[in-house]
Amino acid sequence: MFWDKPIDLALNNLKKRVHAPVKLVLWDGREIDLSDETQVTVRLKGARAATAFAHPSLLTLAEAYIEGHADVEGDVNAAIRSAAALSRDGSRPMFDAHGTARHTRRDDREAIHHHYDVSNEFYALWLDPRMVYSCAYFRNEDDTLEQAQLQKLDHICTKLMLKSGEKFLDIGCGWGALVMRAAEKFGVDATGITLSENQFRLATERIRAAGLQDRCRVLLLDYRDTPGEGVYDKIASVGMFEHVGLDNLPVYFGTVRRLLREKGLFLNHGITSSDPDNGAVGLGGGEFIGRYVFPRGELPHLHRAVHDMSTQDLEVHDVECLRPHYAKTLAFWSANFERNLEAAVNASSERTARIWRIYLAGCAYGFEEGWMSIHQVLASKRTRPGRTALPLTREWMYRA
C-alpha cells in the first residue's frame, strides 16, 4: 500500500486543477469524477497507470493506454479533448524543440517501414477506396471522404496544369492513386516512387488491373536515388517532406530541382509546424508521434519550407492552407477506425490498434486546434531569367 497516499494526493490535486468529463475507476473499485458529467470512463489497472495521471502529458497518458495499463470507454474524441485538458496545466510549452534526427537512406527506409508497412488490409479499413493517405479537399461541408479525396487528386493535377504526354513524377506516391488519376484523366506519363514495399506491391497490382501499365508505374526507390536531370515536366510530393528532416530539406528540394525541367512546375503538399521556430507539438504530443507513429519525423514551418525551396531555384507562385480540410479528413478516418476497431486489431495487433486509434483522433483534434497545419506550395524551377508560363491569375486552379 506504499502507493496509496501519493496516488490519492495526486488524483485529488488533479480533480482540483482539471475539469473534464472523465470518471477514473481505480483497480480497488474507487471512483473519481473530474466533473459532474461523464463522457469517458478510464479504468486504471494498477498503480503504474495511476502514476501517468500524477503529472499527465499526452505522452504518459497515451503510453498508459497503449501498454494496456488503462482502458478507455466512451467517445474517443471526448477522451482526446480530456487528455489535452489534463496535460495543459500551464507549465508545459505548446511547442517543443525538434531533436536532430539522422536521415540516412537506411534510417528513412526503416522509418517508412515502421509507419506504412503495418498491412495494406489495416489501412483499407479506414481510408477511402483509392487508399489516399493524405489530406482530402472538401468543396462542400457535406462531401463524402471518397468525393473529397478525388477532388484533392484533381486539384493537384489542375494546379500543376498537367497535359497529355508530359512526364510526371510523384515523390512518395503511397498506393498509387495520384499517378493513376494523372495518367488516366490527364494523359501524362506518370512515375511514382515509394520506400514502402507494401505500397509498391499493391500500387503495381492496381496499375495493372486498370490497364495503365504502359503510361504509369511505381518504383521502390529513395527520392535521392531517382535518376536523371531535367527529366520531368511536373513533379508532386504529397505527405512526403514530413519524413525528410529539417536538415535534409535542401537535399530534398535540390533533388526536385535536378529532376525538374527548366520552368517545370512542382507542388509540395505537406504538414507544417504552427511554430515559427519549427517546433514540434508540445504537451507530449510530438514525443508520442515520434516514438510510436512517425519515427524521425520533423515538421518545418511554412517560412522554412518556402526559404529552402527558394535556395534551390524553386520560385513560389501559390500557397494554400488546408488545415480545416485535414481536420475533416482525420475526423473521417478516425470515425472509420472506430467502426472497424475489432477488424483493425485483427489486421495488426491490440497494441498497434490502440496506437492508431488515439493517433487519428488526436491528430483530428490537433488540426482543429491549430497545433499544426498543412500547406500546398506551388513553385516552378527557374535557374535562368524569364517568366514561367503560368496564367496571370489563379482562376485556372478552380475551374470545374
- As annotated, the active-site residues are 363
Sign of the alpha-carbon torsion through 198, 199, 204, 209: positive
Give the neighbor-by-neighbor strand order of the sheet with 314-321. Answer: 216-220, 189-194, 167-171, 232-238, 260-273, 372-381, 314-321
H-type helices in the chain, by residue range?
4-17, 47-51, 58-66, 76-87, 105-116, 120-124, 145-159, 177-186, 197-209, 249-259, 285-288, 302-310, 323-339, 341-347, 350-369
Q: Distance between CA atoms of 345 and 340, rounded to whole angstroms?
A: 9
Q: Which of 205, 163, 202 is nearest to 186 (CA)?
A: 163
Residue 117 amino acid letter: D
Q: How far apart are CA 331 and CA 141, in angstroms?
A: 13
* Concatenated DSSP letters of 369-398: HTSEEEEEEEEEE-SSSS--S--SSSGGGG
Q: Could you tell me which residues come within 8 angstroms of residue 147 by beta carbon, excluding any fewer than 6 positions away?
A: none
Whether 382 and 312 have beta carbons less than 8 Å apart is answered as no
